[in-house]
Amino acid sequence: MHTVITRFPPSPTGYLHVGGARTALFNWFYARHTKGRFVLRIEDTDSVRSTQASADSIFEALEWLGIDWDEGPYFQSKRFHIYAEYVQKLLDTGHAYYCTCSSEKLDAMRQQAMATGGKPKYDGTCREKQLCKSNDAVVRFRAPLTGTTIIHDVVKGDIVFQNAEQDDFIIQRSDGTPTYNFVVVVDDITMGINTVIRGDDHVNNTPRQIMLYQALGAELPVFGHLPMVLGKDKTRLSKRHGAMSVTAYRDMGFLPEAMINYLIRLGWSCGDQEFFTREELIEKFSLEHIGKSAGVFDMDKLLSLNADHIKATPPRSLTPHLLPFLKARGYAAEEGHYLDQVILTLNARSKTLDEMAEAARFYYEETVSYEPAAADKFLISDALGPLTLLVQKMETLSGFTVAGLETVFLSVMEETGLKLGKIAQPVRVALTGKTASPGIFEIMEILGKNQVITRLKQAIRYIA
């Protein structure tokens, strides 16, 4: 059996969006599942729109997703000598010819075809003229005039195209630059690509590419065309649906594992399972389970899945992803036991890393900022006595543990006759500034004796 070789060929004319990332992931996981190879190719023949900044942003997004490549990145702009060689091969074998029809003549040709109900295509004027190379000549592929071209698609099934509907398309412009369909085929042949998984917006390009493979005497790759990703309103995915750059999701606080999990599930399934680790996807991914219907991008589902991955990720593995959000807020956070404990109190209640970093504010701020409504309700004169008693008892507490703190609270409850809630809520606001937080005893153990007593005294002064 041949080694599976897939590829991802983005154009560096902008950022990597979620649709492109999904295509990259399908190719990468299939290569990893089959122990094959994954090739990265930058399709930058559009010199006007292609930029190095866009290429760099694509690399950055792929690296964040953990998509590595076995070969490349290859740049089409550095391969023009190879394309010229293959153009000559087609000319030498009679599968291509020079054409000198002017743009005006081509326009008239199309107008006439449409006027008679035909398809606006090249009519083969120069097909048999045996013209020589000249400054104004393009090179056209000599397409078959009869018969059919069939895509044996592993996702969509067989798709049949009538050759009479195709025309003699250009493979090299008059300035010597090659065209998209031609360079894609040459690249895939010379790079040994034998599995092409891409969006179904490429279906109409495929018959032309198959003709080129056949003319060059090359074996056809396996084709699989993925249904597109739609917004919740079932229209083509756009920015208003969430079609932002992949790195924008990183900056919003999504984990790469969650993004991968979500994008793979947009069009692929494995029973009813929703949550996958990277290792599980490598083990289970196959082309046979790619669906035929379009995936619908749902931000709420992505958020929910991200929350699940945050909760499932060990603190030490989560730390590198969370630290940038903590440092952006000016917190003196660093890897270690303290941050591990902070994460364990917040990971079950955070949908994004940004949300988690905001919730961690009270762990790092020197002086607690009280939410006005929380302070007005709980930092009142009735709380002065219980807070003062707590401080007195904590100052003599030797072991500042959950068990020891529970004993202190029970003692204050007995002396004041108050229930736990009447004591715990003022303490919660004193320590966090808010009425909702992780468990009060967990918080106190993490903050430590000195910090807890300092904050309780601050609250007492506030009330007084």
How high is the pLDDT of residue 392? 96
Number of H helices and number of E strands within the chain? 20, 12
Mean confidence (pLDDT) of the chain: 94
What percent of the chain stands above pLDDT 90? 89
Closest to 138 in 3D by CA, of 87, 94, 83, 205: 87
How high is the pLDDT of residue 2? 87
How high is the pLDDT of residue 459? 96
Check: CB of residue 297 under 8 Å from CB of residue 242. Answer: yes
Interval 384-398 mean pLDDT: 94
DSSP state of 245: B
Interval 353-379 mean pLDDT: 95
How high is the pLDDT of residue 241? 59
Interval 217-246 mean pLDDT: 83
How high is the pLDDT of residue 235? 77
The predicted-structure confidence for 257-284, as pLDDT tens digits, reads as follows 999 999 999 999 999 999 999 999 999 9
The predicted-structure confidence for 39-52, as pLDDT tens digits, reads as follows 999 999 888 899 99
Interval 167-174 mean pLDDT: 96
Asked if the domains at 80-225 and 366-463 fall in one CATH topology, the answer is: no
User: Which range, 110-124, 236-250, 293-307, has the best average confidence (pLDDT)?
Assistant: 293-307
Check: CB of residue 306 under 8 Å from CB of residue 255. Answer: yes
Give the dihedral sign, CA 88/89/90/96.
positive
Q: Among 187-196, 220-229, 303-312, 396-405, whose mean pLDDT is lowest?
A: 396-405
CATH of segment(s) 366-463: 1.10.10.350
CATH of segment(s) 80-225: 3.40.50.620
| pLDDT at residue 239 tops 90 | no
Q: Which is more confident, 116 or 104?
A: 104
- The label of the residue with tokens 């003196």 reads 332
C-alpha distance from residue 25 to each of 117, 172, 191, 194, 366 (Å): 43, 32, 19, 17, 44
Dist CA 206 CA 349 (whole Å): 48
| pLDDT at residue 243 tops 60 | no
The predicted-structure confidence for 321-334, as pLDDT tens digits, reads as follows 999 999 999 999 99
| pLDDT at residue 242 tops 70 | no
How high is the pLDDT of residue 232? 79
pTM: 0.91
The predicted-structure confidence for 87-103, as pLDDT tens digits, reads as follows 999 999 999 999 999 99
Question: What is the identity of the amino acid at 403?
Answer: A
Dist CA 374 CA 362 (whole Å): 14
How high is the pLDDT of residue 1? 55
Closest to 24 in 3D by CA, of 11, 10, 36, 12: 10
Closest to 356 in 3D by CA, of 374, 316, 338, 329: 329
Check: CB of residue 69 under 8 Å from CB of residue 27. Answer: no
Q: Which is catalytic among the residues 239, 311, 327, 377? A: 239
Dist CA 185 CA 173 (whole Å): 17
Type and span of the H or E element at 68:
none
Closest to 448 in 3D by CA, of 382, 415, 404, 416: 404
The conformational region for residue 94 under phi > 0 = left, psi -120 to 50 = alpha, else beta, is left
How high is the pLDDT of residue 238? 66
Residues in contact with 436: Cβ distance below 8 Å, sequence separation at least 6, in sequence order: none
Dist CA 42 CA 45 (whole Å): 9
| pLDDT at residue 120 tops 60 | yes
Question: What is the identity of the amino acid at 165?
Answer: E
Tell me if residue 301 is catalytic: no
Residues in contact with 383: Cβ distance below 8 Å, sequence separation at least 6, in sequence order: 426, 459, 463
* Domains of the chain, residue spans: 80-225, 366-463
Closest to 342 in 3D by CA, of 221, 443, 452, 225: 443
How high is the pLDDT of residue 240? 61
Confidence of residue 312 (pLDDT cuts 50, 70, 90): very high
| pLDDT at residue 319 tops 70 | yes
How high is the pLDDT of residue 114? 85
Give the dihedral sign, CA 126/127/129/133.
positive
Residues in contact with 4: Cβ distance below 8 Å, sequence separation at least 6, in sequence order: 30, 31, 34, 36, 37, 194, 195
